Structure 1
Amino acid sequence: MLLDETQFINTGLAAAKITDILLTLASIGPPAVYVCNYSLVHKLFGRNSEDKQRLLSQPRIMLPDLPGSKDWTDYVDECVRVSGDAVRPGLADFAAELYRCTFGIKRLAVQLLKQAYIECRNDRRHWIELRDLCSAYRSVAYTSNASEVEELQTQTLGNRQSKQRLDLKCPFELPAAYRSNVVEFARAEREQGVIAKVFDSSLTESERSAKKHLEEAAEIVVKKPSRRPAAKTLSKDEEAKAFFERLDLASKPRRPKSPS
């Protein structure tokens, strides 16, 4: 028995009441698994040892995809595919930029892409480019999410215990491989940003103009799929003839396939 979104039980209820509800559901009979966020787990950590032994003894931590992993790149590729040519990644690493702006949280990725489409329409375009992700990240609609992403990145880089944002802090010890991979990605992003800032600041006005011109020329313009030619206009007699030909073809018995 799967109990999903149990963190919403804690709305206006004390931890003792939440514990009573979860233990009651677990004692019904079938094996039970409850799903919750970090906020509820932090509350349960404050319970007595007998409650923690029953409710927190076998945790399964659901973490975001690792940066640069095949799961994340496949997810971004699928977002590009289902967008119907509304997302054009271009030459830049679109997946890495999307991860930097969302920390790999898919709910935030959907919100950021939605806001990026609004930004591209404001720019009189019908497709999302890499620059639209940056504009969406700095938009008013994404401000609260951006602050949470920056908090998660700060926690990863500084390894500090945040007591104000427990909803963003995993109460369990994370795997070393996951922590090292995320730290490496965040540090590499910071170093690249510093290098780019230093490089841009050292350019003259004419060199900046030439660099901007080269970047615009290097963008890949994805061609829209060619439309099928319009169907030929037929007379009523020709339509009737084509209909009966199709009907005769469909009504003819087919030979059964020989077994292979």
Structure 2
Amino acid sequence: MQLVFHPTTQIVDILHQLVSRAYGHCLQLYPDIQSFTGNVYRQDSPLPQFASPACITGLAGVGKSCLASALERVLPSDGYVACPPESSKFPMRSLWRVDVQVRSSLKDMLAPLGGSEGSLGDQLKTARKRAYRDGVALLLADEFQFLTASASANTRITQTLLSMGYCGLPTVYVANHSLLHRLLRRPQEDRDRLLADLMILSPDTPESDDWSDTLAALIAVSPEIFRINPKTDAPQFHRYCAGIKRAAVGLLVEGYRIARSQTNDGRFTVNMEHIQSAYRSHLFFAHRIDIEIVTQQLILGRQVDNKRNDLWCPIGQPDRLHPKLTEEMRQRRDLRLTEEIQRAATSGQERKTNKPVNRTHHTGESSTVVKLPRRARPDAETLRTNAASLRDL
């Protein structure tokens, strides 16, 4: 299920932008064979001295790394090109992808094109020449969150991104929201270079075809077990994962485990009741906390936990998505709140039979007024408990 990928409208739009940048770079730098062969043997690379990196950002688990992998599949595969008159063969690679790891140094990242010998300046010079010779059209850097663990993370990340920009290629880096918060604390000259070109990948809206199609693709892994309607159940399923694809997979896996544990003969199916149980399970606790925070922020339009920068985009949401998503989340929350109030107002037997309360008017000649005891003022603990119950809705 982790391998399932559905290209939503947002993903297709971003892929189109990236392919267009790569295509434009090739048109400008490789006009004909004569220009290419002449530039290959130049002492200095014809690539621009600096190219400001673009950024793809979004919540963790929303599909950024899947988008990067899809870009690799969309662009032409590696090969060779023969150039007359000697028909010399040159290697061709359309994409240079760098996966940042915890202990990755800048020299390690440049090694595939710049080699491992010499100074950083020597590496950059070699990388620029090889990038042009190999026809690299795009530089993609992923998993930058691994660099945020060190004490000097801000400086290290900035130096890494700027150095990649000096390769002279159209550069794109994938970042979680927490990295954007760090970059916003950099001086203006760094922000202007690193945050001027942003592409936001947001969760799909509950009622959208993209979301129902994504859910359908996940269920198609085992349709005989997952008895979930991707059309009618999509909004309710969205409530439990906020449209985050990694959380959606976690719900299905945990729902499968719960359904399987409830049978002894091995015959079972997974429905929305199991998904609801999965959402409330202790194994889904970490996802549930994140989803509740994301939902509150969408409704309130502000960050609700200053310690969770990874869940709040500091530059806002795309205009085409934010108002619609916020309104849908608010309406569903109001509906759930109304249902919870009605449920709390009924007796235990009424809740069990799920029947409304039938009230009849007394038509007797007289009635006795019974004074109800005054309720004590709630203490601090009661107020905290009530507030927590409303947050859980």
Letter in 2 for 1:209: T
Q: Tell me which residue corresponds to 1:175.
A: 318
- Pairwise CA distance, 1:126: 2.3
Q: Tell me which residue corresponds to 2:167.
A: 28
- Pairwise CA distance, 1:84: 3.3
Question: Is 1:8 aligned to 2:138, yes or no?
Answer: no
Q: Tell me which residue corresponds to 1:59.
A: 198
Render the CA deviation track for 1:150-190: whole Å, top value 9, x for unaligned.
00111111223342211100011223442222222222222
Q: How many residues align?
A: 211
Distance 1:198 1:47, change over 3 A: closer
Matches within 5 A, 1:31-110: 31-89=170-228, 93-110=232-249
Distance 1:41 1:208, change over 3 A: same
Q: Kindly indicate whether the alpha-carbon contact (under 8 Å) linking 2:202 and 2:317 is maintained by their aligned counterparts in 1.
A: no
Q: Kindly indicate whether the alpha-carbon contact (under 8 Å) linking 2:205 and 2:321 is maintained by their aligned counterparts in 1.
A: yes
Give secondary structure in 1 for the equivalent of 2:315: coil
- Pairwise CA distance, 1:19: 0.4
Q: Tell me which residue corresponds to 1:209.
A: 353
- Pairwise CA distance, 1:145: 0.8
Matches within 5 A, 1:186-205: 186-200=329-343, 201-202=345-346, 205=349
Unaligned runs of 5+ in 1: 212-260
Higher-strand-fraction structure: 2
Q: Kindly indicate whether the alpha-carbon contact (under 8 Å) linking 1:7 and 1:36 is maintained by their aligned counterparts in 2.
A: yes
Give secondary structure in 2 for the equivalent of 1:137: helix
C-alpha separation between the residues in 1 aligned to 2:279 and 2:257?
A: 12
Q: Tell me which residue corresponds to 1:134.
A: 276
- Pairwise CA distance, 1:98: 1.6
Q: Kindly indicate whether the alpha-carbon contact (under 8 Å) linking 1:7 and 1:37 is maintained by their aligned counterparts in 2.
A: yes
Letter in 1 for 2:330: R
- Pairwise CA distance, 1:116: 0.8
Q: Kindly indicate whether the alpha-carbon contact (under 8 Å) linking 1:67 and 1:181 is maintained by their aligned counterparts in 2.
A: no
Picking from 284, 292, 295, the partner of 1:153 is: 295
What is the percentage of aligned positions where both structures have the same residue? 33
- Pairwise CA distance, 1:115: 0.6
Letter in 2 for 1:67: P
- Pairwise CA distance, 1:15: 0.5
TM-score (norm. length: structure 1): 0.74
Higher-helix-fraction structure: 1
Unaligned runs of 5+ in 2: 1-138, 356-393
TM-score (norm. length: structure 2): 0.50
C-alpha separation between the residues in 1 aligned to 2:285 and 2:262?
A: 20
C-alpha separation between the residues in 2 aligned to 1:92 and 1:176?
A: 25
Letter in 1 for 2:189: E
Give secondary structure in 1 for the equivalent of 2:199: coil
Q: Kindly indicate whether the alpha-carbon contact (under 8 Å) linking 1:88 and 1:127 is maintained by their aligned counterparts in 2.
A: yes
Worse-superposed segment, 201-210 or 108-117:
201-210
Distance 1:28 1:150, change over 3 A: same
Render the CA deviation track for 1:105-163: whole Å, top value 9, x for unaligned.
10111111101111111222522111111111111111111011000111111223342
Distance 1:118 1:207, change over 3 A: closer
Distance 1:80 1:150, change over 3 A: same
Q: Kindly indicate whether the alpha-carbon contact (under 8 Å) linking 2:212 and 2:231 is maintained by their aligned counterparts in 1.
A: no
Give secondary structure in 1 for the equivalent of 2:211: helix
Worse-superposed segment, 119-128 or 199-208:
199-208
